[in-house]
Structure 1
């Protein structure tokens, strides 16, 4: 290309401006998070760090006057009968009346863990019958679903009338290793 051609080219292109390229996608991050984004992020983080394994989804539905009965394999019939008849002294009691399912979830989880920490053996959970709740027996259904999820829970049965009847449940907790050892020593002394 000669110098004349190049000069001519520059002269012709003098008033032309280059096209501005636009990015194909907007990759700029928004500075502010919407309330919905913030709420979802907090819920996800809480879920990751929450030791409470009890779920608020799909409880096994029971009716207000149903009797709650459950025991693990290996629980002796005599022990279960004594629990059912309310013959064990109640070491602790938790009343869930007027609690939301979310509040009850937290309280039941904390209560069972506290009872285990203090080596309590028999406890009473008062959940009510839930005849007026929507759906009926809402908390009762949650309690029935949650209790078997605890490894510490060996058995439970609806309470005797004087302890709340079908609106409450006796719960038998697993013995701690220390209590098992005390029991062994006590039985060895008898021989």
Structure 2
């Protein structure tokens, strides 16, 4: 136990000493290397001023797929037979978009415009080469973006990873809706028999 004389001596020594001011918050910075998912979030958070207007494709976090995953999508109303033919690579490829070596913001713009142009020129079947992304960080990042973006474009009816001869899991067959002009043309032909559009 401390006796009174020791306490008095300690108190005398401590005269004029001010208590330290404590910080109100603690600095919890991590010094670890960013994980691939964090890198993906950072890349997707880039503001794309030049494409913001009129391009609804997300810039948000996406679900990453594996480089060797088969990716597929079929919207309501697409017949099983049509979808089966698409995934087998039966339809002729009338347009091609190559995204190799493209940055995310450039690929986003090109995918959106490519689908719009295909519909404008009545192209129903196309291919997009996105690559596997086995060497990228995060892996399959662009492939994952394309998988997400195509589902957001109403003109895309279906897509499926390509056959080996067309790029396998590094490419996608895409089925595109008919343009309004083509729908009207078909309606006239099939509702009144063969119509001569003069």
TM-score, structure 2 normalization: 0.68
Does structure 2 retain, via aligned residues, the 8 Å contact 1:56–1:101? no
Q: 2:136 maps to what in 1?
A: 133
Find the residue that maps to 2:59 and give its secondary structure.
coil
Q: 2:100 maps to what in 1?
A: 97
Find the residue that maps to 1:46 and give its secondary structure.
coil
Distance 2:72 2:48 in 1: 36
Q: Can you give the 5+ residue segments of structure 2 that lack an aligned partner in the other structure?
A: 1-45
Greater shift after overlay, 47-56 or 90-99?
47-56
Q: Give deviations 1:15-45, integer Å, cap 9, x for gaps.
A: xxxxxxxxxxxxxxxxxxxxxxxxxxxx989
TM-score, structure 1 normalization: 0.71
- 1:156 and 2:159 matched: yes
Distance 2:150 2:89 in 1: 18
Distance 1:184 1:111 in 2: 26
Does structure 2 retain, via aligned residues, the 8 Å contact 1:83–1:170? yes
Task: Give the aligned CA root-mean-square deviation in angstroms.
Answer: 2.4
Equivalences for residues 17-28 of structure 1 within 5 A: none
Change (3 A) 1:167 1:114: same
Q: CA deviation at 1:188?
A: 6.3
Does structure 2 retain, via aligned residues, the 8 Å contact 1:82–1:88? yes
Query: How many pairs does the alignment contain?
Result: 149
Change (3 A) 1:50 1:75: same
Q: CA deviation at 1:184?
A: 4.5
Instruction: Determine which structure has the larger helix proportion and give its number.
Output: 1
Instruction: Report the structure number with the largest CA radius of gyration.
Output: 1
Distance 1:134 1:68 in 2: 19
Distance 2:50 2:122 in 1: 29
Equivalences for residues 2-21 of structure 1 within 5 A: none
Equivalences for residues 1-191 of structure 1 within 5 A: 46=49, 50-184=53-187
Find the residue that maps to 1:144 and give its secondary structure.
helix
Change (3 A) 1:105 1:186: same
Give structure 1 regions of 4+ aligned residues with deviation exceeding 2 angstroms: 43-49, 177-191
